[in-house]
Amino acid sequence: MKNMPLIIIAFMLFSVLVFPHSIIADEPIATLTGHTDIVHSVEFSPDGNLLATKGKDQTIRLWNPHSGNLIRTFDTTFRGGIAFNQDGSILASAEATDKVINLWNTDTGKLQKTLGGHLGNVYHVAFSPNSDVLASGDSDGNIILWNSDTGQLIRTWHAETLDGLTFSADGRFLANGGRDDGNVKVWNADTGQLLHTLEPNAYEIFDVAFSPEGHTLAGAGWGAIDLWNTSTGEFVRSLPADSGRAYLCAAFSPDGRMLACGKDAGVSLWDAERGIFLDNLGVVNVDVYDLAFSSDGNTLASVGKSNEVHLWKITPLDTVIAPDFPEDLTGPNVNTWREDFNEVHLDSWTKREYQRERVTWETKNGQLEVLTQPFCNGRLNISNQLELETNYTLEFTAFPIETEQIRVKLKVDSLENANAGIFIGQKPDSLVDQVFQHAYLFANHALGNPDSWGHSGAAPEIGLNLKEIDVVFDRGRFYVYSEGEYIVDFRTNSIQTIDYIGIAVFPEFCKSPATVSLDDFEISGPTVPAPGTVVVEPKDNKPIDGTVIDDFWVEDFNEGHLDSWTEDKHQKERKRATWQAKDGHLNVWIQPQLNRALLQTYELQFTGLPIKAEKLNVKVDILEAHNANVGILIGQYDWTGGTFRRTYKILHNSIWGAIELGDVPDQNYENLKEIEIVFNKGHFELLSEGENILEFDEPNLKYIDCLGIIAYTGEVPLAHFVMDNFVISDVVPFKAKSLSINAKGKAAVLWGELKQK
């Protein structure tokens, strides 16, 4: 049924299960052995008393799943799926390169009939659950319906590409995935008419599965698992999946509550009705190519890139019972503050700080409309689970509240290439790159843990698709509702009070514009001030020019900030270096100089910081680097000799130490996209995207007074690099109690004489 040898990139997935009864098995209850090579197809008979497997060893094996005993073996080809008919008496097998379908009698093991009519290799077969109709699909994209009793061809049509083939429970619909065009197609099985072409979030679709009641269709593929309404073709939700992982197969439990998907190194399970990720089954270090539930839903069979068949014990999900609503959040003592997004209320929202050139919004007809221009930057990602490229966050930060109980609601009117929601928690340690460090985000498409900065959370991963987001916080417990319907609740030990509430807008794809239209935003609770008793003003409204920040400095490379960077007159006069800061990027071009094999042709020095620090963090994002080695210059400047003899150059693919400094580990990197340096009284730590690269001590550097961006180029080709935000934070002044950093003005020319001679 599903066959695709793939090389899968291993990617860790972390989540916390919050259900009253565990469904997770650490080890399979049985492992069936007998195949001598990869097993790529598995199927239970409708009554659950037979289990069929097909493998690369060119055999089909029929098992008793209760005892694990092998019943019989059929000789076959090594590729192609299998399917039982409605009473389990016939097993159909797609014989790939033979271009036929074999029908086997499961009682006698004899070949009962061979169906020929395909011109391409036959990989897919599916029986209608309530008739003798058999569907088959080939490598040319042709689908044929057969009467399995008579062997008569009923109907044929072309579907272009085929990955997965499945009937709905009533036999009315037939669905297939398509790896080439990336779409899912739903057909009228009686007429062959195309009913729906569904565009998934997955890059490629490897398998499709109907829920047992036939109302939901799941598509599994690269980086996503999507659900649609079968009747209307309407998108229901994306389940919370790893964007870097391929989901190769999908199977619903008999009650339709649970969806299992096979991937590399195991199986993942979801509560399909609520879109909640449950957990991963055990530890099986093989790609899983096919899955099947038993008729009672208590056993899941998995096969894949090994010669073993694993049987897992599954505990069906309990009926969802909504908890009691917190009493203190109802009644006459609860006040409600409401932002209805009429024009006069716009000043209750913070202004754009770091993405001001890329985002516009307006309030119109009682709605907030936000437009974000495309810009690829992952520095402000809220968590690994969401996998979103964040270029804009609209934060409501001005509400004067600290409370143990609160309710926050938001209506999402429309979205395009965007994810929007509410964040609730506590103020982060730094608003530069840890925006959601101590906050949860409850969005229309996902629910996320706090940012991964050492603060664990308890939120389950949830795939939503909500028009209203309604979140209740009550003394360390979160409750999630939508339009009066309870979804899930969980307890967190890391957040006991709330003082940080707002709206967040995230583009789903950083290369396309994102638009959002939001409706009413409400905050209610016993400690919320009554309407009219508090004047809500914009907070932290920093102008583009003259920014003064006490604990961090951000160069976001908008046009107005270019004069906070030195200009090397000698290099510019010789026309060897040009740069442009625009739309949040710094673009630098360096002309070659032919008289040296390796020439330092350009140093872009940040000279606006009157800094002398014993501790600091510095970070830069490098989006592109062509024939250039780019990074951070950090150390002490030789004021007498006018050189950088006491500095390190920590670059995106190497590290260089100066003559007067000690040796550092000999390191070559694979083009780091982010360079982050943590300096602490002579101790250096180099990180990239949260991963520790190396650490070393330099006893000759107890403080830093030279900090900047530096680039080197080779001898002939034109060099070009593009970088994003340059952030300096967590500054502890050397032998001083405080430090104000001014990005412009008089401080910007403090090192004006340090330009290259």
Q: What average pLDDT does the segment 326-343 reach? A: 85
Regarding whether 461 and 363 lie in a shared domain, the answer is yes
- Eight-class DSSP state of 167: E
Regarding whether 603 and 502 lie in a shared domain, the answer is no
Domain assignment of residue 388, yes or no: yes
Alpha-carbon distance 122 to 137, whole Å? Answer: 6
Regarding whether 374 and 226 lie in a shared domain, the answer is no
Provide the 10 A C-beta neighbour count for residue 473. Answer: 26
pLDDT tier, 345 (very low <50, low <70, confident <90, very high otherwise)? low
The domain spanning residue 479 has which CATH number?
2.60.120.200
Domain assignment of residue 688, yes or no: yes
**Residue 13 has what pLDDT?**
25
Closest alpha carbon to 244 in 8, 415, 434: 8
**Residue 493, Cβ density class (10 Å: 0-12 exposed, 13-18 middle, ≥19 buried):** exposed
Regarding whether 445 and 566 lie in a shared domain, the answer is no
Domain assignment of residue 13, yes or no: no
Residue 593 has pLDDT above 90, yes or no: no
Q: Which residue would you say has higher pLDDT here, 591 or 29?
A: 29
Number of domains in the chain: 3
Q: Do 212 and 254 touch, CB atoms closer than 8 A?
A: yes
Q: Do 82 and 96 touch, CB atoms closer than 8 A?
A: no
**Residue 664 has what pLDDT?**
65
Residue 44 has pLDDT above 90, yes or no: yes
pLDDT tier, 337 (very low <50, low <70, confident <90, very high otherwise)? confident
* Residues present in the chain in total: 757
Most confident stretch, 270-279, 503-512, 658-667: 270-279
Domain enclosing residue 106, as ranges: 35-244+252-259
Regarding whether 446 and 346 lie in a shared domain, the answer is yes
Distances from the Cα of 91 to the Cαs of 114, 161, 296, 302, 751, in angstroms? 12, 25, 20, 18, 80
Most confident stretch, 277-286, 312-321, 452-461, 642-651: 312-321
Regarding whether 735 and 676 lie in a shared domain, the answer is yes
**Residue 6 has what pLDDT?**
28
Q: Three-state secondary structure along 436-450?
A: CCCEEEEECCCEECC
Domain assignment of residue 292, yes or no: no
Of 125-139, 278-292, 429-443, least confident by mean pLDDT is 429-443
Percent of the chain with pLDDT over 90: 37
Residue 56 has pLDDT above 90, yes or no: yes
**Residue 540 has what pLDDT?**
37
Of 292-306, 457-471, 620-634, 739-753, least confident by mean pLDDT is 739-753
Report helix, strand or coil for 259: strand
* 253 HSE (CA, 13 A, CB side): 23
Regarding whether 617 and 559 lie in a shared domain, the answer is yes
Residue at a domain's end among 259, 284, 300: 259
Cα-based angle 98, 102, 107 (whole degrees, multiple of 5): 150
Domain assignment of residue 411, yes or no: yes
Regarding whether 552 and 521 lie in a shared domain, the answer is no
* Residues 382-433: tens digit of each pLDDT: 333 333 344 455 665 545 678 999 999 999 998 888 888 888 888 777 655 5
- Measured between its terminal Cα atoms, the distance across the chain in Å is 70
Element (H, E) at 93: strand 90-95
Strand ranges across the sheet with 153-158: 122-127, 133-138, 142-147, 153-158
Of 55-64, 326-335, 339-348, least confident by mean pLDDT is 339-348
**Residue 21 has what pLDDT?**
40
Domain assignment of residue 306, yes or no: no
* Residues 183-202: tens digit of each pLDDT: 999 999 999 999 999 999 88
Q: Do 71 and 84 touch, CB atoms closer than 8 A?
A: no
Regarding whether 164 and 71 lie in a shared domain, the answer is yes
Q: Are strands 741-742 and 548-549 parallel, antiparallel or unpaired?
A: antiparallel
**Residue 671 has what pLDDT?**
84
Q: Do 505 and 389 touch, CB atoms closer than 8 A?
A: no
Residues 6+ apart with CB under 8 A from 215: 229, 230, 231
The domain spanning residue 78 has which CATH number?
2.130.10.10
Of 124-128, 444-448, 637-641, 726-730, least confident by mean pLDDT is 637-641
Alpha-carbon distance 635 to 401, whole Å? Answer: 43
Regarding whether 563 and 519 lie in a shared domain, the answer is no
Residue 641 has pLDDT above 70, yes or no: no
Buried b (16+ CB within 10 A) or exposed e, 699-728: eebebbbbbbbbbbbbeeeebbbbbbbbbb
Residue 228 has pLDDT above 60, yes or no: yes
Regarding whether 557 and 427 lie in a shared domain, the answer is no
Q: Which residue would you say has higher pLDDT here, 610 or 370?
A: 370
Q: Do 174 and 189 touch, CB atoms closer than 8 A?
A: yes
Question: Between the CA atoms of 324, 326, 332 and 336, what dihedral angle is there, to the nearest 10 degrees?
Answer: -120
Residue bearing tokens 């209805």: 340
Domain assignment of residue 290, yes or no: no
* Residues 357-389: tens digit of each pLDDT: 566 777 778 888 887 766 554 333 333 333 334
Regarding whether 739 and 660 lie in a shared domain, the answer is yes
Of 67-76, 157-166, 242-251, 639-648, least confident by mean pLDDT is 639-648
Residue at a domain's end among 234, 259, 284: 259
CB under 8 Å, gap of 24 or more: what pairs does 131-134 form?
131/86, 131/171, 132/85, 132/86, 133/171, 133/189, 134/83, 134/85, 134/92, 134/101
How remote is the C-alpha of 214 from its chain's centroid?
29
Q: Which residue would you say has higher pLDDT here, 344 or 27?
A: 27
**Residue 10 has what pLDDT?**
25
Domain assignment of residue 536, yes or no: no
Residue at a domain's end among 491, 525, 559: 525
Residue 514 has pLDDT above 90, yes or no: no
Residue 77 has pLDDT above 60, yes or no: yes
